[in-house]
Amino acid sequence: CQYFRITYARSWWFSMSLTIGVLSIQGDVQENLLSTKSAFDELGIDGTITDVKTPDEISQLDGLIIPGGESTTIGQLSLVNGSLKVLKEKIDSGMPVLGICAGMIMLSNTANDRVVGKTDQPLLDILDITLERNSFGRQRESFETEISMDSINIPKFNGVFIRAPSVSDVGSDIEILAKYNDKIVAIKKGNVIGTAFHPELVEDVSLHKYFVNLVSSLKN
């Protein structure tokens, strides 16, 4: 894992192109590193994909993936080490972000839990959405299903839902990318994408490729 990260980063120092980070506080870090590397390779784009956790590391990024995991843990530890403030500043200034499951929760302005109700957890307050954690049930109720994201040219994608949130209402600046059983499971606001499902757990890297292209277009 470490060897992959360092050697891929070295290639970037010579090409001076994109650098995309995966927030490595907690969650599916390695899976997103590998999916993003595959997206780079398939697109023929030079760059580096690396794990980040400190404010200094985050400040150097062109784009960031906030992976699935425990949103409360990610938020609390990001608050403690000072990353939360830098994350919000970078996103507000235009850095593209892909928030996956817990990552989408982190990007929201409110988070309610299907069982315990309103939660008191650190959030980035980027997305104006009504979000419910664990909307489809707990771990044993995880499932896979085909979804469509036609507006970003991904007509068919295998969504993996693990303790997934859902969105029931969105602000006027939020684009709905996908629904499942009338629940919103993927959204976009300018440079920010949020998904309730885990695209890093399937071989199809279409969504990671879309994100890499988004980062590339904004940098160029």
Count the alpha carbons within 13 Å of 98 in the hemisphere toward its beta carbon. Answer: 27
pLDDT of residue 11: 36
Does 1 qualify as catalytic in the annotation?
Answer: no
**Cα–Cα nearest to 190, from 128, 109, 110:** 128
Mean pLDDT per block of 10 residues along the chain (220 residues) reads 38 60 88 96 92 93 90 71 87 96 90 62 87 81 93 96 91 95 95 96 97 90
Predicted local confidence at residue 116, as pLDDT: 54
Angstrom distance (rounded) from CA 37 to CA 48: 8
Predicted local distance difference test score (pLDDT) of residue 119: 61
**Catalytic residue (choose from 1, 31, 70, 101):** 101
Task: Write down the catalytic residue from 70, 141, 175, 200.
Answer: 200
Catalytic residue among 31, 132, 198, 208: 198
User: What pLDDT sits at residue 74?
Assistant: 72
User: Is 208 labeled as catalytic in the residue annotation?
Assistant: no
